[in-house]
Amino acid sequence: MREYRNVFAEVGIPEADIAKKLESAFNTMFYGSDDERVYHPVGDDMGYIEDTGNIDARTEGMSYGMMLCVQLGKKEEFDRIWKWSMTYMYMTEGRHAGYFAWSCKPDGTKNSHGPAPDGEEYFAAALLMASSRWGDGDGLYNYSEWARTILRDCIHRGGDGEKAGLTMWEPSNHLIKFVPESPYTDASYHLPHFYEIFAERSDPEDRAFWAEAAKASREYLHKACHPKTGLCSDYANYDGSVLEHSFNPHAGLHYSDSYRTVYNIALDWSWNKADPWQPEECRRVQKFFEEAGDKRDLVPHPDGTFTDETAMHPVAIRATEAAASLAALDGANAEEKARAERLVKEFFEMPLRTGKRRYYDNFLQIFSLLMLSGSYRIY
């Protein structure tokens, strides 16, 4: 039986305090004041997650909300978010039919008809877990069938004509794309721990693909993360090199997307222990930020040289740095162990962010709380 490590308990935090912290964080994010919440119920059976920095609903946030709800057993909120996603985001016609529009206004109007693959992979994983935890319902709530449909479209939509190459994974190397049209990737999109689940529960004919995708993503992360600092860039080429030219001026920096990479690595280690490089990588990132001192809230290049720009999401950095302890503690020497445990204790005392930028920071914070409490589980 798979065991889920409770690092908070290991460092002496009482179980009751851990449970209270998690429930409080969820209640604040979903039902707190207007300066705290990111969830908005709509009518009798829908709801959306707001990116409070951009005043929109994104597949990133909607799928995050669903994953959070299935982990915490919040079925009503899960179903509301899923129905809103299918009502307003899912595209049934046009170039990207079968995918979800990555951004919508709060009233459901699409800001874009393009998809972002990180939303699809989180939707699929959350739906598969909902199926296991609550069972499948009818129609929209036949969770496992919708998950398989999403996964099927992600890897089979390429073909002839205008839709050629519109798969979300590159068939030649099994790596997830930044968007279906792009010839590059985003390190934080690589979720081998989800692909292992897909390899067990997707259409039987696709299971070998997902097993290869898990292997390929683990190998890719070795290339994308700097060997000394452990940092990656927001976007990168398939060989792991920094994407030098992009519409995004931060693409080559260790910026907002990148923060998720280390906690994805730690979660994969926790669930699968398939790559002994992962604990070492997590320790590198923790050591880098500790040695950065007063510069730790500035934006760095992957090689560790700093810009003079202040990070937009400092809470997210702290959260994911602490979550890395889930892997970093394995095989750590005394100095590394002390550092990892200190980060966990400091993180537990950190409050949720309020104000405009709270959406992204607080999701990474609550996912880190789930990880370190042993509450981020495979269902």
**Contact in structure between 240 and 220 (CB atoms under 8 Å):** yes
> Alpha helices of the chain — where are they, by DSSP H?
7-10, 15-31, 59-72, 75-84, 117-134, 143-156, 192-201, 207-224, 259-272, 277-292, 314-323, 325-328, 334-348, 358-372
Q: Which of 51, 170, 257, 275 is catalytic?
A: 257
Q: Which of 51, 56, 60, 206 is catalytic?
A: 60
Two structure tokens written together for 332: 């750590």
Could you confirm whether 153 is annotated as catalytic? Answer: no
Instruction: Report how far apart, in Å, the C-alpha atoms of 274 and of each of 167, 190, 249 are.
Output: 27, 15, 34
**Contact in structure between 372 and 326 (CB atoms under 8 Å):** yes
* CA geometry: angle 138, 139, 141, nearest 5 deg: 70
Q: The tokens 């709380």 sit on which residue?
A: 369
Phi, psi for 43 (deg, rounded to 5): 60, -150
Distance CA 81, CA 87 (A): 10
Could you confirm whether 219 is annotated as catalytic? Answer: no
* CA geometry: angle 298, 305, 347, nearest 5 deg: 40
**Contact in structure between 337 and 324 (CB atoms under 8 Å):** no
**Contact in structure between 211 and 261 (CB atoms under 8 Å):** no
Distance CA 313, CA 40 (A): 22
Two structure tokens written together for 58: 């994104």
Instruction: Report how far apart, in Å, the C-alpha atoms of 200 and of each of 95, 155, 207, 306, 363 are.
Output: 30, 16, 6, 42, 27
- Would you please indicate which residues are annotated as catalytic (active-site) residues? 60, 257
